Structure 1
Amino acid sequence: MAAKKTQTIQVGEVTLAVSNLDKVMYPQTGTTKGEVIDYYLKIASVLVPQAAWRPATRKRWVDGVGTPDKPGQVFFRKDIEDGAPGWVPTGQIVHKERTNVYPLANNAAVLAWFAQLAALEIHVPQWRFGDDGAPRNPDRLVIDLDPGPEAGLPQCVEVAQAIREIFQGMKLDAVPVTSGSKGIHLYAPLDGRTTSEQASAVAKQLALSLEETMPNLVVATQRKTLREGRVLIDWSQNNAAKTTICPYSLRGRMHPTVAAPRTWDELERPNLAQLDYREVLERVASGIDPIADQGWVFDQAPGSTDKLTRYREKRDADATPEPVPAEPGEGEGGRADDASGPADQKGGPVDSSSSTDQKSAAAAASGAPTFVIQEHHAHRLHWDFRLERDGVLVSWAVPKGPPLAPDDHRLAVQTEDHPLEYGSFEGIIPKGQYGGGSVTIWDAGTIEVEKWRDDEIIVVLHGRKTGGLGGIPRRYVLIRTQGQGEKSHWLLIFKKDQPGSSPDAGSSPEAGSSPEAGSSPETGTSHQPAPPDQPAPPDQPDASPQPHQPDSSNQPSSSHQPDASPQPPPPDRLPAPMLASLGSPSDLHDPQQWALEMKWDGVRAICAVAGGRVRLVSRNGNDITDLYPELGELADDLGAQAAILDGEIVALDPRGRPDFSLLQPRMKADPRVAPRLADQAPVTLMLFDILSLTLDGTEHHLMRTPYRARRELLATAISPTERVRVPPAFDGSLDEAIAHARAERLEGVLAKRLDSIYTPGRRSQQWIKIKPRTDQSVIVIGWRTGPDGKLRSLLVAVPGADGELHYLGRAGSGIAPGDIDDIARTLAGIERKTPPVARIPDADRRDARWVTPTLVGEVAYSELTPQGRLRAPSWRGWRPDLSASDVRWEGAGALPTP
């Protein structure tokens, strides 16, 4: 039975859409895409440890490997695909002129996603990313034995055995891998102290040495004239920029062979051959994994021996009062302060019972995960925000402290994981030691984890009655914006929907004082004067507690007056908007993975805000800021220094529904009269995405942040007003959303995958537009006049599948009488003698006047006729925000082939 064209599979916590599972990828064996996906899912337990935390380069055969007579087309892919799911982990390699973002094959779901994209081969370097997100030294040395003409595996084995003897003298234990192609790879583990340059030098010297001692069998250079009957020792793959086929990866050969780790005993067998994927699965199922010792251990940080390695590396247990647990296997050899209380001001133990009330102590004893927020007077004052997870305190440094008011964002920089004992630590870290300075507990208690992803965390904190959180539950969200692991940047946000409140209720009137006011969790008194815009602590006489407000120095000017602040980027430096693909309800295979928005009928705009100024750029890259002066208030509505946003400019009718005809005068007005029109017929900006956000001088690039997190940020970054709104996602089913769009006469529904990233300027299947109404952008190619010589109808076309213009017919109705002369004057300026489209019916050619096909408009129609003409088309107006190159057929069904 043939597989369905598209379906979903569950891989751990990930739901993955897969398609064309019966597509043959290896014609000579009949191996299908479904079997390739199945192989990678089954082999993940041994492949992932070899690939984890290494940037993965893929070789993709979209149409299969083909046959010897007609090989399939293949291409390399380094950077992660634009439509990659947000759950795919990534690593960045920073070059002088660019930054490459690679996927990391850290779990089975990533391997299955690779296979869905027909990425048969996975290539990785010999190094891994560290827990700080930076490349580490290589953890292995590789030698590639490549047989030339008239040589094969027997010759490779002979050379491999000679190399093994050399490695043994160097106390290196190499593992052979039959490459799945022609030769053998040898992998020897390194301890991380050798650089890639040093490893390459060693491998090169080994190759040159064997070329000298085995000249009839070994060659160390790539010259083809020297390779006949010999084995090339390719030492160059130890270069940090080079990659090698990953052990257990499939190969894109005529047969589905695998880069298979082998034992040395196997290499001595006379019938040694490359293995196919079925043979490899049988070996692994029986427990054979010769390269297992070189794999990454799943419960370790990348490049570390355990989660607290980085913590120990930064601290001298004999010089700091901080708890420093023993390393695994040391027993009592290391110092752990399990039985000790927090250190006092002199570094000695003190009684901590006074700093923990009975309620939080009882909660901690219940086994719930814990949190601690510590006020840290180090080189610079900051707050350490720590959440218990998997046996450690996952930690962030928050320079301005956790926010206590909705819509407030704080930069949080992830630091190394801390031991659980750190949750009760207070004291002075000596000067000269890492983090030297005083540490006090601002609040502590337990947490409820509502969501914990590698890019988004939502928790409810239950602190102390006298703590900085005010003694009531607080819901926070952490969203990762750039980097991974230690030193990655996050945003810490106080959620609008707090426990026990309505989503718009904001913070409780019982809120404690802001961290910036220096409040003490012990007494509620202030260590230092509060800034002028800070509320007084709630226990002071006559104080009226208010939500904490951000430092006013970080707020944009409310008067839009130019200042010395940064300017919004010019249009050519702003990203083009991401585009949706036309689809239908059947394209949403797992409704739980999609969010639904209304599709607004207006002008798309990328909005840049900086220095109290706003710049609006249309879809075709034109600066349209001066056309909509009333939207300058966006600078006041943004709770940040700068941002780049995506939205739609609409004109609303008296019932609050978008009316495209009302927008027409604004779209084509002279900028000099725009202020008057703004007073008479103001527009509204509907924001639905955020691409970057600048806080405290740090720009957070968000296009690779998943949609669900971007929308969370957008809702908190913008304070809605009459002119600027953030429409919420539709709370209901797709059928209900379509019915709502139809009832409100909206353009349609936009479905967006929750894990989708933002791909500027590209049309993506991660965003699907479903249109209950048939609207179509068209290119005007001419017009016809009536007996009075006045313009009566417009002749319109769209590009067909072959790129040539396809005639759609005449649009006469819908043209307002007051617009006729204006349209005629516009078209007369681009008139030409011949029609720009072939095969126009004679009846439509009669009395027609032709124009160069550059201007874009929009029509509504009832259906497409069998001849490829619009039935009952009605003119809706010009689209100056679109270029002719932006127009494509979006209707149901395909245009007839000429």
Structure 2
Amino acid sequence: MTRSQLEVDGRRIALSNLEKVLYPETGTRKFDVVDYCIRIADAMLPHLASRPVTRKRWPGGTESAPFFEKTLPAGTPEWIARFTIEHSERKTGYPVVRSAADLVWLAQVAALELHVPQWRIDLSDDIDRRTDRIVLDLDPGPDVSLDECARVAVDIRDLLDDAGLSSFPVTSGSKGIHVYARLSTLVKSESARAVAKQIATAMAQAAPRTVTATMAKAQREGRVFIDWSQNTAAKTTLAPYSLRGQPRPYAAAPRTWDELAEPGLSQLEFTEVLDRYDEVGDLLAGLSGEVAAVAVDHAAGGSDVIDLGEYRKKKSSRRASSKPTPAPPGPTERQPIPSGLTELRPMLATDDPIDGLDDDWAYEGKWDGFRALVRVVGGRARLISRSGNDLTGDFPELSVIADCLVRDGKPVDAVLDGEIVALNAAGISDFSLLVSRKRTSEPYELRLHLFDVLYLDGVDLTEQPWEVRREILDALTYFDGESVIDIPPLLPGPAETAVAVARERGWEGVVAKRRAARYVSGRRSPDWRKQKNWNSVEVVIGGYRPGRGSESKIGSLLVGVPAERGLRYLGRVGTGFTDAELDALLEELRPLRISMCPFVDDIDKPVAGSATWVLPKLVADVAFMDWTSTGHLRHPTWRGIRRDKLPGDL
């Protein structure tokens, strides 16, 4: 790896792979991105000032999958300023960008997109986040041009002018336009959000055929969606002048209102942004001004620390008014998990298509393992399958999660949702390896992938939107350094990209989750949708046939699925087993033998004549190529017993 040293603002920064092409379509290298950061720094820094930065990184270039990063990674230079948000006394440290050197370091780690909230650290105290500006994100719906989006932006400008607020347009570098407005007074984030919503709603009422202020996808066809929610304290917006992780190196570019009034508006690449800046300076200079700062505590090392009680504040502000909000526990008070939460069952996804979903959705990997709710109470963990079976004894390695959930020497109660997987030598989850792990010599690594948090430290989170729960989960630091527990990052959108990335990584599929969805216990909800990368089916074992030349061996399993009249026959599964699995299956099926065929279909006499029937109790997972014309499985192969499910779950 080639390395060089660059001195910027008195800081020596180690740079590597400067010839690495980050934007293959244009040949734009890391060197070019570093150069852009240095040349645009004076314009960009005021719009990042005193705001924690969340990053999207593309180490492999924009044709590869990015990853979303909040916490500062190991090896961050000491001179990068930190801002620590305490989530119920769990700390997440964000960088605060103050110099060109900071921007160059971010470019070195391929952090192309820099996202910031509208509130500022220096204007906030330990209770409220405050801001001196609002932003309206104009997102054109299907078949809506950037010119049409610009016309809506101009109408917003006129409305803001009438209110005495100066406004500034920025083409976002992606599809739409950001309209910023400088507020005449300092306000709380909640107030800024209310102002932005009022503006968006007024625009939608005035032009319902071209504008919508609701997030529902069905409302966006032929309209411009005005996203007012990005003024919420918990949300971020791409910073002005930031690059985009698009095929071409577009940037969030400040524009003039005259440009927006002319037809043919387009997004600008970073080279065009530099040329404009050299010619006319920062078109957003009037957006950031001096505002009286609110006193903020400082921790050792100069890091700003504010105990914002992140998820508790969200809980109290977003929960429906019809439900009373319990007071959060005090620092030494422990509240037991409410009885209703101890009876939770996993929320399930439907098989609805995910193609074409909009920005209201996010995407997670679908892994090949056992779904489990993890309940940690009083320092002890229990793993409960989707059918209510206790899996704790099957996975003693995962009891370490209770050891992790400790604060100030005291246990923290929690209910988490996740998937237990076995990773093979290639690092891919392998269901067959998971179920045969006690009988195989093949190497594997056990993991608990966490993807939801339902209860934490006295707070019920099930009524919170998914995006709030996900933000809380991402902020948890309890499991840092614990190898068997992880929180996999989200997949990049849109859906087509998420599916492609999941396939490339060898995952079972993708789960799309509506950002506003609450957690629905034990039910399939269209707010969660799954798409597999190959065909598989969960079946019930109804019998078996002996192997050739041996009545003491299983040759194939006879399987089916529950139907209205009984068990419907799907065919025979005779491949994919190891000898050890076949021996174990025979021992398990012998006590279940019955005299009558459990299938409601007519089974071919040669098959039925040699079959041993069993009580249809065991659920298994089978992969297959396709369906035959008679409704049977074509080329089925065994994957393993599903200990987490019962026939009634299918």
Relative to the length of structure 2, the TM-score reads 0.51
Specify the code of the residue in structure 2 equivalent to 1:654: A
Q: Distance in 1 between matches of 2:336 and 2:549?
A: 54
Q: CA deviation at 1:745?
A: 2.6
What is the correspondence of 1:15-54 to structure 2 with a 5 Å cutoff? Answer: none
Of 495, 505, 525 in structure 2, the residue corresponding to residue 734 of structure 1 is 495
Task: Give the aligned CA root-mean-square deviation in angstroms.
Answer: 4.2
Residues 297 and 305, structure 2, Cα contact 8 Å, conserved in 1: no
Q: How far off is 1:707 after superposition?
A: 0.6
CA distances 1:651-677 after superposition (whole Å, capped 9, x unpaired):
1112221011221135x89xxxxxxx9
Show CA shifts across 1:853-892 (max 9, x none). Answer: 11111110000111000000001111111001012xxxxx
The equivalent of 2:462 in structure 1 is 703
Indicate how the Cα distance of structure 1 residues 599 and 881 shifts in structure 2: closer, same or farther if over 3 A, else same.
Answer: same
Q: Is the 8 A contact 2:598 2:613 kept in 1?
A: yes
- Aligned counterpart, 2:234: 458
The alignment partner of 1:867 has SS state of coil
1:385 counterpart = 2:128: yes
Q: 1: distance between equivalents of 2:545 and 2:514?
A: 45
Contact 1:647–1:688 (Cα < 8 Å) also in 2:
yes
Distance 1:679 1:824 in 2: 22
Partner of 1:576: 345
Distance in 2 separating the partners of 1:692 and 1:858: 31
Secondary structure in 2 aligned to 1:385?
coil
Residue identity opposite 1:577 in structure 2: P
Residue aligning to 1:760: 521
Classify 1:635/1:455 alpha carbon distance in 2 versus 1 (closer, same or farther; 3 Å).
Answer: farther
Q: Which position in structure 1 is the counterpart of 2:377?
A: 610
In structure 1, stretches of 5+ residues that fail to align are 1-366, 375-382, 392-443, 493-549, 555-564, 670-676, 888-898
The one-letter amino acid paired with 1:642 is D
- Quote the Cα distance in structure 2 between the aligned partners of 1:820 and 1:764: 37
Amino acid of the structure 2 residue aligned with 1:846: G
Identify the match of residue 623 of structure 1 among 390, 410, 414: 390
Q: Is the 8 A contact 2:354 2:529 kept in 1?
A: no
The correspondence for 1:655, drawn from 426, 431, 437, is 426
Shift of 1:614: 1.2
Q: 1:658 to 1:803 in 2, by over 3 A?
A: farther
Paired residues of 2:119 and 2:132 also in contact (CA < 8 A): no
2:638 alignment partner in structure 1 = 875
Residue aligned with 1:584, SS: coil
State the shift of 1:636 in Å.
Answer: 3.9
Determine helix, strand or coil for the equivalent of 1:658: coil
Give deviations 1:692-729, integer Å, cap 9, x for gaps. 111xxxx2111111111110011113434311111111
Separation (CA, whole Å) in 2 of partners of 1:570 and 1:628: 25
Aligned to 2:505: 744
Query: C-alpha separation between the residues in 2 aligned to 1:679 and 1:613?
Result: 31
CA contact (8 A) 1:480 1:491 kept: no
Q: Compute the displacement of 1:736 (Å).
A: 2.5
Q: Specify the code of the residue in structure 2 equivalent to 1:751.
A: A
State the match for 2:581 in structure 1: 819
Deviation at 1:817, TM superposition (A): 1.3
How many residues align? The count is 378
- Aligned residue runs from structure 1 range 501-650, under 5 A: 573-586=342-355, 588=356, 590-638=357-405, 641-650=412-421
Q: Secondary structure at the match of 1:662?
A: helix
**Secondary structure of 1:792's aligned partner:** strand
Residue 478 (structure 2) pairs with residue 712 (structure 1): no
Q: C-alpha separation between the residues in 1 aligned to 2:526 and 2:303?
A: 43
User: Does 1:467 find its partner at 2:296?
Assistant: yes
Structure-1 separation of matches of 2:484 and 2:292: 39
Structure-2 change in CA distance of 1:456 and 1:625 (3 Å)? farther
Change (3 A) 1:655 1:467: same
1:775 to 523, 526, 536: 536
Identity over aligned pairs, percent: 33
Residues 484 and 858 of structure 1: CA distance in aligned 2, closer, same or farther (over 3 Å): closer
Distance 1:842 1:642, change over 3 A: same
Q: Take 1:823 and 1:454, find their aligned partners in 2: how far apart are those partners?
A: 55
2:549 to 775, 787, 805: 787
- Residue 481 (structure 1) shift: 2.1
The superposition leaves residues 511-559 of structure 1 with CA deviations (integer Å, 9 ceiling, x where unpaired) of xxxxxxxxxxxxxxxxxxxxxxxxxxxxxxxxxxxxxxx98x79xxxxx
Question: Following TM superposition, by how much is the alpha carbon of 1:452 offset from its aligned partner in structure 2, in angstroms?
Answer: 7.1
Q: 1:758 to 1:682 in 2, by over 3 A?
A: same
Aligned CA distance change for structure 1 residues 369 and 576 (closer, same or farther; 3 Å): closer
Secondary structure in 2 matching 1:822: helix
1:371–1:388 contact (8 Å) kept in structure 2: no
Instruction: Check conservation: 1:581, 1:769, Cα contact below 8 A.
Output: yes
Give the superposition deviation at 1:805.
1.9
Match of 2:648 in 1: 885
Matched position secondary structure for 1:829: helix
2:560 to 790, 797, 811: 797
CA, structure 1 residues 459+663, in 2 after alignment: closer, same or farther (shift >3 Å)? Answer: closer
TM-superposed deviation, 1:771: 0.9
Give 1:863's match in structure 2, choosing from 622, 626, 648.
Answer: 626
Residue 639 of structure 1 and its aligned partner are, at CA, apart by: 6.5
Superposition deviation, residue 621 in structure 1: 0.7
Match of 2:436 among 662, 665, 675: 665
Q: Is the 8 A contact 1:741 1:748 kept in 2?
A: yes
Contact 1:664–1:878, Cα closer than 8 Å, also in 2: yes
How big is each residue's C-alpha offset from its partner over 1:185-223, in whole Å with a ceiling of 9 and x where there is no partner? Answer: xxxxxxxxxxxxxxxxxxxxxxxxxxxxxxxxxxxxxxx
For 2:387 and 2:295, locate their aligned partners in 1 and report how far apart those are by CA, in whole Å.
56
CA shift for structure 1 position 480: 2.3
Is the 2:132–2:186 Cα contact (8 Å) retained in structure 1? no
Matches within 5 A, 1:156-167: none
Letter paired with 1:650: V
Structure 2 SS opposite 1:730 = coil
Counterpart residue type for residue 882 of structure 1? K
1:638 and 1:717 in contact (8 A); partners too: no
CA distance in 1, matches of 2:395, 2:383: 9
Q: 2:64 maps to what in 1?
A: none
Selected match of 1:830 from 592, 613, 621: 592
Displacement after TM superposition at 1:633 (Å) = 2.0
Pick from 689, 693, 696: which aligns with 2:452? 689
The match for 1:846 is: 609
Matched letter for residue 569 of structure 2: Y
Alpha-carbon distance between aligned partners in 1 of 2:128 and 2:350, rounded to the nearest angstrom: 41
Structure 1 length normalisation: TM-score? 0.38
1:480 and 2:330 matched: no
The amino acid that maps onto 1:575 is L
- Change beyond 3 A, Cα 1:678–1:616: farther
**Distance in 1 (alpha carbons) for counterparts of 2:132 and 2:293:** 20
Deviation string 1:294-334 (CA, Å, 9 cap, x unpaired) is xxxxxxxxxxxxxxxxxxxxxxxxxxxxxxxxxxxxxxxxx
Work out the CA distance in 1 between the residues paired with 2:231 and 2:595: 59
Partner Cα separation in structure 1 for residue 397 and residue 429 of structure 2: 17
Say whether the 8 Å CA contact 2:384–2:390 is kept in structure 1: yes
Structure 2 gaps of 5+ residues are: 1-117, 135-184, 194-226, 237-287
Matches of residues 341-490 of structure 1 in structure 2 within 5 Å? 384-385=127-128, 387=130, 457-458=233-234, 464=293, 467-468=296-297, 480-482=314-316, 483=319, 488=325
Structure 1's 481 and 854: CA in aligned 2 closer, same or farther, altered over 3 A?
A: same
Q: Could you tell me how far apart the structure 1 residues matched to 2:324 and 2:604 are?
A: 66
Residue number in structure 2 paired with 1:40: none
Larger Rg belongs to: 1
Tell me how far 1:808 sits from its aligned partner.
0.5
Q: Quick one: distance in 1 between partners of 2:354 and 2:597?
A: 39
Cα distance, 1:841 vs structure 2: 2.4
Equivalents in 1 of 2:639, 2:520: separation in Å?
29
